[in-house]
Amino acid sequence: MELKIHDFQISILRELLFKPNARFRDLKTVDVTNDHFTFHVNRLIQEGLITKSAGKYSLTTRGKEFANRMDTDSLQLERQAKLAVALHAVRIKDEVAEYLVHRRLKEPFYGWYGSHSGKIRWGETPLDAARREFLEETSLAGDFIHKGIVHYHYFHKDGQLLEDKYFWVYKIENTKGELKAKVPEGENIWMTEKQYRALDNVFATFDETIEVLDSPKLVYLDRTRFVESY
């Protein structure tokens, strides 16, 4: 869960970005009582964001990472695009290509169809994340081929930006194991091209999917979507 901190605490972190090993008086740039300000300083110490040594304050490693996400002019934490993997398993059955499609059964985008996907965790490589997510969501393994990166902006029809995501796209061949047809997050279904094209509420059309999967070289694409609901 994202740590939420008070505006006074953000101002303290900003000062420590530019003044390592600052004294109390150097940090107190807002007009509040010493007791009030001390409360916020101690709160940052409790959260592990700053430390005090020999009467001086400095950012911890965690504090540096957290404060580095701030806009130092507006004193606001900047929202950043999410990093994820998109996983497209393909097989040949009775000489017909089939694609493993996931029907999402949680919000947002409840009931939508698309590839398996998941966030890249802190410290993971995209390939590690791809293998982990695919195994968790399908119980399958396979041969992972990196096909490129697709950047999605999802907007509500009124123009509000809903999601900003970068996907490392992998094609998965030679799948092994027994497919879990249903998991808490949704359903897994092998589909032919005809079945895929008949779907409504898809994250990517069949043609958009094939554009990436069948490309002979790595691709980078920016795509924008406007949706009625989220």
Q: What is the pLDDT of residues 116-163, one digit of tens each?
A: 999 999 999 999 999 999 999 999 999 999 999 999 999 988 888 888
- pLDDT for 220 equals 98
pLDDT of the chain, 230 residues: tens digit per residue:
457 788 888 888 888 988 889 999 888 877 788 898 999 999 999 999 999 999 999 999 888 888 877 776 776 777 788 999 999 999 999 999 999 999 999 888 899 999 999 999 999 999 999 999 999 999 999 999 999 999 999 998 888 888 899 999 999 999 999 999 999 889 999 999 999 999 989 999 999 999 999 999 999 999 998 887 66
pTM for the model stands at 0.76
- pLDDT for 66 equals 82
The structural domains of the chain, ordered by start, are 7-77 (1.10.10.10), 82-227 (3.90.79.10)
Instruction: Identify the H or E element spanning 100.
Output: strand 96-104
Cross-strand pairs, 33: none
Instruction: Identify the H or E element spanning 206.
Output: helix 206-213
Pairwise CA distance, residues 102 & 204, whole Å: 12
Pairwise CA distance, residues 110 & 185, whole Å: 10
- pLDDT for 230 equals 62
Query: How long is the chain?
Result: 230
- Before 108, cis peptide (omega within 30)? yes
Pairwise CA distance, residues 59 & 14, whole Å: 10
Q: What does the DSSP 8-state code read for residue 202?
A: B
Pairwise CA distance, residues 25 & 102, whole Å: 56
Instruction: Identify the H or E element spanning 38.
Output: helix 34-46
Pairwise CA distance, residues 188 & 180, whole Å: 7
- pLDDT for 75 equals 63
